[in-house]
Amino acid sequence: MGKNLPGYFGEFGGRYSPEILTEALDELESTYQKLKKSKKFKKELEYYLKNYVGRPSPLTYAERLTKLWGGARIWLKREDLNHTGAHKINNAIGQALIARFMGKKRIIAETGAGQHGLATATVGAMFGMETIVYMGAVDVERQNLNAKKIEMLGAKILPVTAGEATLKEATSEAMRDWALNVSTTHYIVGSAIGPHPFPTIVRDFQSFIGTEARAEFKKRNKKLPNAIVACVGGGSNSIGMFHAFLKDKQVAIYGAEAGGLGPKPGEHSATLTYGKTGFLHGTKTLIIQDEFGQIVPAHSVSAGLDYPGVGPEHAHLSQIGRVDYRMVTDEQALDSFLEVTRVEGIIPALETAHAFHVARDVAKDLGKKKDLIICLSGRGDKDVTEVLRLLGERK
């Protein structure tokens, strides 16, 4: 396994997937290593990121939030302005290019919030590849706008009804599809999860977020920010944001995970708070599980955070204490969603709203004349119907 790529992050990571996938994972790893060194691939990736996605995404100074919260200056890394409305497209393009290089004509993906499904359907349309998206039946309902868009783009949605019918089941089903069609198909894993080399590949394609944010902030302020914050589902936007700052010891790093309805098993997706070491979807990581090692269903108001595992690199960063992971409840996320929308004129994704809640506390603790960057991982168009429904329940 990966001599040149880190397959493990501390004790986490590795490859714990069915034997039938091993050859494809080896092929993916060696192809990626080759492409990573190739100037042509780099140029091609940068071409699409610039001209199709709209990178680099801006760093917005959030003046009104800064004033309202009364602490550190707030900056927003605007992944919501990417084509398709979230960071997921960065990874989808990168992996589609790898798939094309490997000669695979069919791509599959799992999706929770629908953003990764949408990103995959989009690159599938652009590159002319047959695209299948696995989506939990529950998520097809609560993220219906994205589900409709995915189909309009010519991809096929296969709703998964097993178990809780959310992201975990969609991921299992995508792995099964891949096992059956491994010679013709590339599985575009949508977060920094899964067997090696996926967590590394996804992180690399998302690291543009942090690299750009760091460079732009430095250029404009002649220093580094004091803190950065991102939301953690599987952990792709966050690891992408964090990576460029890991070595900057003076930058405090915070992850926001879904505290859901409360601390009871089944009511949250707070993997880094309540998870224990285990094996799920091909990787060794922290997982929300019961005393017998059965995976406990996760819950979050945001479909994109509703996953009982987390990328192995986050498990490691949590263990070594480099990142401070905090829980945000459904209610708190909803409040932040409304606040940011009204104050800044930006409707954030419900996933991102979790990061805003943590950021507010951190900003207050830091105090004035300090700086904090929030990764605004996606826009909230997809969540409007769900938010209205939840507000109706509140009354």
Partner 1 sequence: MSKIKTLFESNRFKSAFIPYFTLGDPNYNDSIEFGKTILDNGADILELGIPFSDPVADGPVIQRAVARSLKNTFSFEEIFRVTKAIHDHKPETPLVYLTYFNPIYHCGISKFLDHAKESGIVGLVIPDLPFDTEESEILFRELKVREMDLIHLVTPASEKKRIQALSKTSSGFIYYVTSFGVTGERREFSVDLKERIKFLKDTIQLPICAGFGISTPEQSNQISLYADGIIIGSAIQRIIEENGSDRTKAVSALAEYISKIRASIS
Ligand X SMILES: Cc1ncc(COP(=O)(O)O)c(C=O)c1O
Residues that bind partner 1 (CB under 8 A): 1, 14-24, 26, 162-163, 168, 172, 175-176, 179-183, 276-282, 287, 289, 291-295
Q: Toward partner 1, which CB reaches closer, 6 or 278?
A: 278
Q: Toward partner 1, which CB reaches closer, 162 or 384?
A: 162
Give the one entry of partner 1, ligand X, none that residue 199 binds, where binding means its C-beta sits below a cut-off of 5 to 8 angstroms depending on kind: none
Q: Toward partner 1, which CB reaches closer, 70 or 293?
A: 293
CB of 293 to partner 1, least distance (A): 3
Residue range at the interface with ligand X (CB under 6 A); choices 16-24, 113-121, 271-279, 293-301: 113-121
Give the one entry of ligand X, partner 1, none that residue 155 binds, where binding means its C-beta sits below a cut-off of 5 to 8 angstroms depending on kind: none
Catalytic positions, written as ranges:
88, 110, 377
Query: Which residues lie across from 278 on neighbouring strands?
Result: 285
Determine, following the binding rule CB under 6 A, whether residue 94 of this chain makes contact with ligand X. Answer: no
In the window 174-203, what residues touch ligand X (CB under 6 A)? 191
Residue 247 burial by Cβ neighbours in a 10 Å radius (0-12, 13-18, 19+): exposed
Alpha-carbon distance 92 to 98, whole Å? Answer: 10
Q: Toward ligand X, which CB reaches closer, 304 or 312?
A: 304
Q: Please give, one letter per residue, the 3-state secondary structure of 7-58.
A: CEECCEEEEECCHHHHHHHHHHHHHHHHHHHCHHHHHHHHHHHHHHHCCCCC
CB of 388 to ligand X, least distance (A): 18
Task: Using CB under 6 A, pick the residue from 150, 196, 378, 386 that binds ligand X.
Answer: 378
Query: Whose CA is closest to 109, among 188, 3, 167, 178?
Result: 188
Give the one entry of ligand X, partner 1, none that residue 353 binds, where binding means its C-beta sits below a cut-off of 5 to 8 angstroms depending on kind: none
What does residue 259 show for φ and ψ, rounded to 5 degrees? -85, -10
| Number of CB atoms found within 10 A of residue 11's CB | 13
User: 323 and 349 in contact (C-beta within 8 Å)?
Assistant: no
Determine, following the binding rule CB under 6 A, whether residue 2 of this chain makes contact with ligand X. Answer: no
Q: Which amino acid is at 336?
A: S
Residue range at the interface with ligand X (CB under 6 A); choices 6-14, 109-117, 287-295, 330-338: 109-117
Determine, following the binding rule CB under 6 A, whether residue 232 of this chain makes contact with ligand X. Answer: yes
Greatest distance between any 2 Cα atoms in the chain? 57
Query: Whose CA is closest to 255, among 273, 267, 279?
Result: 273
Residue range at the interface with ligand X (CB under 6 A); choices 44-52, 233-241, 276-284, 291-299: 233-241
Q: Toward ligand X, which CB reaches closer, 71 or 79?
A: 79
Angle at the Cα of 200 (from 32 to 78), degrees rounded to 5? 105
Determine, following the binding rule CB under 6 A, whether residue 377 of this chain makes contact with ligand X. Answer: yes
Task: Using CB under 6 A, pick the residue from 236, 269, 289, 336 that binds ligand X.
Answer: 236
Q: Toward ligand X, which CB reaches closer, 236 or 336?
A: 236
| Number of CB atoms found within 10 A of residue 369's CB | 9
Q: Toward partner 1, which CB reaches closer, 19 or 393?
A: 19
In the window 239-298, what residues touch ligand X (CB under 6 A)? none
Give the one entry of partner 1, ligand X, none that residue 146 binds, where binding means its C-beta sits below a cut-off of 5 to 8 angstroms depending on kind: none
Residue range at the interface with ligand X (CB under 6 A); choices 3-11, 101-109, 180-188, 349-357: 349-357
List of long-range contacts for 153-158, beta carbons under 8 Å, 24+ apart: 153/118, 153/121, 153/122, 153/124, 153/125, 154/121, 154/124, 154/125, 155/117, 155/120, 155/121, 155/124, 155/125, 155/131, 156/131, 156/132, 157/117, 157/133, 158/132, 158/133, 158/134
Give the one entry of partner 1, ligand X, none that residue 170 binds, where binding means its C-beta sits below a cut-off of 5 to 8 angstroms depending on kind: none
Alpha-carbon distance 375 to 244, whole Å? Answer: 13
User: 337 and 264 in contact (C-beta within 8 Å)?
Assistant: no
Give the one entry of ligand X, partner 1, none that residue 17 binds, where binding means its C-beta sits below a cut-off of 5 to 8 angstroms depending on kind: partner 1
DSSP string covering 159-177: EE-STT-SHHHHHHHHHHH
CB of 35 to ligand X, least distance (A): 22
The binding site for ligand X (CB under 6 A) comprises: 86, 112-113, 115-116, 191, 231-238, 304-305, 349, 351-352, 377-378
